[in-house]
Structure 1
Amino acid sequence: METTDVIVIGAGFAGLVAARELGRSGHAVIVLEARDRVGGRTWTDHVLGHDLELGGTWVHWIQPHVWAEIARYGRRIVRSPVAEEAYWLGAGDAPRKGTLDDFLSLIDDGQRRIVEDALTAIPRAIDPTVGSITELDGQSLQQRIDDLNLDDEARSANESVWVGHVNAPLKSVGLSSALRWASATGGHWPLMHEASATYRVAGGMSAFSAAIAADVSGDIRLNSTVTAIDHHKNGATVTLSDGGEIRARRVVMTLPVNAVDTIAVTPALPGVWRQANRERVASQGIKVWIKVRGRLPRFFAYASQHHPISVLKSEFIEEDHSILVGFGPDHAAIDVTSIEQVQAALSVWRDDLEVLGVAAHDWMKDPLSQNTWMTHRPGQLTRDLPQLQLADGVLHFAGCDTADLWGGFIDGAIESGLREARLVSAALAG
């Protein structure tokens, strides 16, 4: 039977960074990736005539771990277009049109009040479960907005903004998601929004992850699906779908919370993982790229959390077409492969958009992810996060679901990979 020092399960950013660092520490590493590519929930695909990000996209220099990797590999960032027009739904879903400044003026008071206690709830963003968040974590984001008693116009606009960020109905999402992201940006809500959805990596995320993969000294084996892990105090045996087995002294799992039950683990995963897996995390939405006819003025649009596409914005403007990207809170509410359904969803804002094509990957239906990006349900953050970071004997856990600073982001995945590489290396040295 083949043996190695460490098996890393998953070749997303967390797994690649962990494998790279372990290899640099002199350990033999094998990365097992079920997909036919590296990158995990980041994926640049050439569709609709463009290189489009079907998964994680935006980064920012305020995110220290991803920015260090961007600098390390000489990547550049590109800004998404600044909107010339804004569309949103007001009271009673009445359509509105204005400028970027009009919309920002409408949401300013509400956005500030939603996260005004971020720095008392989470005084140090690197310790997201310490502070008054322990008392607030049971609240949903919807409860916080309800408590503000905003007028109907401001309420509709503020809800729509947060639906775009959390990719789920607001009643399902913990207030903790808003507060920890705001804490990470010093309580400054405009910077939090900028960090979440403004700058993308030039050349694409797939090329970025491939650059990290090229620095991994061990094997990266694609199309290698892990079905079982049998671990004990001296090591573990990992079984693949083809029946092959590999023994290792340590194993690093990087699967999201929602997908860890796709691997049979003996002894069973710790109770915190099993409970979180049963509950699922809050995110359950969609991301869809849309090609429409004509060169359009750059715009963004917000609808409510009850619409299948709640956020829409321009990303690429060409002479004869425009490429838009949309997000919605419920993947079951729309077939993102259907031009007809996407066309109907856009009509809530404007009837002059002719959809020529769509492209998307339903991450909720993908057995290797079963969610988009981590947004906690009420109570999950403070109850689960510290325990999700703990090793179970020789079994370690990485991935953006286990990050402290930017949980749910690429930065968080990298943070977790660095953390577990250090812990595994120390354990092997001991």
Structure 2
Amino acid sequence: MSIQYDVAVVGGGFAGLVAAREASQLGRSVVVIEASERLGGRTWTEDRLGTRIELGGTDVHWLQPHVWAELSRYDLAIEEFTPPERLLYLDDGQVREGSEDFVFGLMDKGMSALAEVARTAYERPHDPRYSNAAFDFDKLTLGEFLDGVEMTTLEREMTSSFWAAACQAPLDKAGITIALRWLALAGWDWRVMLDVISRYKIIGGTGRLVEGIVSDTPAEFLMNTAVTSIAENDSRVDIGLADGSTVTARAVVCAVPVNVLSDIEFDPAFPHIDRVAASGQISGGQKVVCRIKGDRTPYMAFAPEGHPFVLMQYDRPIDGDHIAVVFGSDATAVNGSSVTDVQQVLRTWLPDVEVLDVATHNWTVDSLYRGTWAVPAPGQLREQLDALESRNGRVLLAGADIASGSFALIDGAIHTGLRAGRDAAAID
């Protein structure tokens, strides 16, 4: 059986949803094909731990222009993580506490050096091609760059703590471009960048934005439906489904994570898709949301790269307890689903902490994602941009994993979906 549409969108994350909305509002018949039972991709709002939590992507900001426009469109408000009053850090295995000026001051040399490079390499944050310097620096890992900055051991460890959480991967493997792009979005100011990527969230969760876009999208949704093949000919694209049926469309927007692109057989082979699929992205960390007994003075805690968890952030009080979020750059280092194991690691910072419950999702082993938010290896920038910009056929790519500016962020997913949806609608 084959069903005909103008545009088929593969993947129901923010990139796919926005692409479907744009194409359908231009009068095209659209179908969204999603392999799981839910929409939202690597964002996932759940009612757990006695409250509403985010298992995936969370943070938004007015300096992320595309997501901010969407929040305005659907009249969604933001709130912030409770600002920390206590800052804890590990120094030679011992937990210490310092003032905000002192603790964040330890990061200043490394962060400022990155920000200075970002100003040169990403003069226009959403246009990496504006300066060839972006490609020149793409040869470096973040670790290699920081090795070249004169810092004390503690300064390097504090800087690596933040970036190990942000990169979800070893810094000697993570490409520097993710840091440079995030800094450029924040006006090349690293303290502003901390706010842009880690301070504000949507009241009610990212699921509220998913609901807003879906309500505005007159498309058909095929849920729990995996795509196995995409075959293009002169006048249409045939999308093969796991149940043996076929969907036919004039154009396709493929908005799946790059680490699962290789699960789809493309015919003919598209070199730009093959290159992105072969390179993939390297994130392998985890995020764990914890309900902790009793309330405490709001805090943030740091540990050097290599620690099972490298960053812990107080979120909010709840019924006499509190919620905290922790990040690690290696999902195999600690069982994030085990209250006992998580508590043992958190006691490195807070010896008397009692974890009541935890919530997590192992994105790294989930066959629909195979990684958390995208983290590039060195040398991938040009192939990502080529894949994003390719308009040589009826199959277009979208997604935060290849976004030109807001790379790996909800904002980048939306940006790519806007363009791909409208371009797909224009294909006859």
TM range (shorter): over 0.9
1:89 matches 2:70:
no
**Structure 1 residue 408: deviation in Å?**
0.6
Contact 2:6 2:30 in 1 (8 A): yes
TM-score, reference length from structure 1: 0.96
Q: 1 CA distance for matches of 2:160 and 2:93?
A: 12
TM-score (norm: length of structure 2): 0.96
Q: Paired residue for 1:158?
A: 159
Q: Which residue of 2 aligns with 1:128?
A: 128
| Structure 2 counterpart of 1:260, one-letter code | L
**Residue 369 of structure 2 corresponds to which residue in structure 1?**
369
Give the C-alpha shift of residue 75 in structure 1.
0.2
Other-structure match for 1:307? 307
Q: Secondary structure at the match of 1:170?
A: coil
- The Cα offsets for residues 211-255 of structure 1, whole Å up to 9 and x where unpaired, read as 101111121221122122222221111122222211111111001
Residue 356 of structure 1 and its aligned partner are, at CA, apart by: 1.1
Change (3 A) 1:417 1:243: same
Match of 1:231 in 2: 232
2:181 paired with 1:180:
yes
Separation in structure 1 between the aligned mates of residue 260 and residue 392 of structure 2, nearest angstrom: 18
Distance 1:386 1:320 in 2: 52
Q: Distance in 2 between matches of 1:125 and 1:48?
A: 38
Quote the residue 2:324 is aligned against.
324
The Cα shift of 1:392 comes to 5.1
Indicate if the aligned counterparts of 1:38 and 1:210 stay in contact, CA closer than 8 A: no
The aligned amino acid for 2:61 is H
Q: How far apart are the structure 2 equivalents of 1:319 and 1:48?
A: 11
Tell me the CA shift for residue 14 of structure 1: 0.8
Contact 1:88 1:301 in 2 (8 A): yes
1:39 Cα deviation after fit: 0.8
Q: Which residue matches 2:213?
A: 212
Q: What do the CA deviations read for 1:86-117 (whole angstroms, capped 9, x no partner)?
A: 11122x33322123232122222331123212
The Cα offsets for residues 11-51 of structure 1, whole Å up to 9 and x where unpaired, read as 11111111111111111001111111111111100111111
User: What is the number of equivalent residue pairs in this alignment?
Assistant: 426
User: What SS is found at the alignment partner of 1:333?
Assistant: coil
Are the aligned partners of 2:290 and 2:325 in contact in 1 as well (CA < 8 Å)?
Answer: yes
Residue 319 of structure 1 deviates from its aligned partner by: 4.3
Contact 2:107 2:155 in 1 (8 A): yes
Cα deviation for residue 377 of structure 1 reads: 0.7
For 1:211 and 1:290, locate their aligned partners in 2 and report how far apart those are by CA, in whole Å: 28
Match for residue 245 of structure 2? 244
Contact 1:389 1:402 in 2 (8 A): no
Q: Once structures 1 and 2 are overlaid, which stretch shifts more, 36-45 or 232-241?
A: 232-241
**Structure 2 partner of 1:286:** 286
Aligned to 2:139: 138
One-letter amino acid of the structure 1 residue matched with residue 242 of structure 2: S
Structure 1 position 342, deviation (Å): 0.7
- Check if 1:40 corresponds to 2:41: yes
Q: Contact between 2:387 and 2:402, CA under 8 Å: does it hold in 1?
A: no
Aligned residue for 1:358? Answer: 358
Local SS of the residue matching 2:128: coil
Aligned residue for 2:231, secondary structure, equals strand
Task: Confirm whether residue 17 of structure 1 aligns to residue 18 of structure 2.
Answer: yes
Contact 2:119–2:188 (Cα < 8 Å) also in 1: yes
Q: Does 1:52 align with 2:53?
A: yes
Distance in 2 of aligned mates of 1:147 and 1:388: 32
Amino acid at match of 1:7: A
Contact 2:262 2:278 in 1 (8 A): no
Stretches of structure 1 lacking an aligned partner (at least 5 in a row)? none
Secondary structure in 2 matching 1:427: coil
Alpha-carbon distance in structure 1 between the residues aligned to 2:40 and 2:384: 26
Post-superposition shift, 1:383?
A: 4.0
Return the alpha-carbon distance in structure 1 between the equivalents of residues 88 and 418 of structure 2: 42
Is the Cα–Cα contact under 8 Å of residues 226 and 239 in structure 1 kept in the other structure? yes
Q: How many percent of aligned residue pairs carry the same amino acid?
A: 36
Cα-Cα RMSD: 1.4
Matched to 1:75, the amino acid is L
Structure 1 CA distance, aligned partners of 2:389 and 2:347? 44
* Gapped regions of structure 2 (runs ≥ 5): none
1:389 CA displacement: 3.0
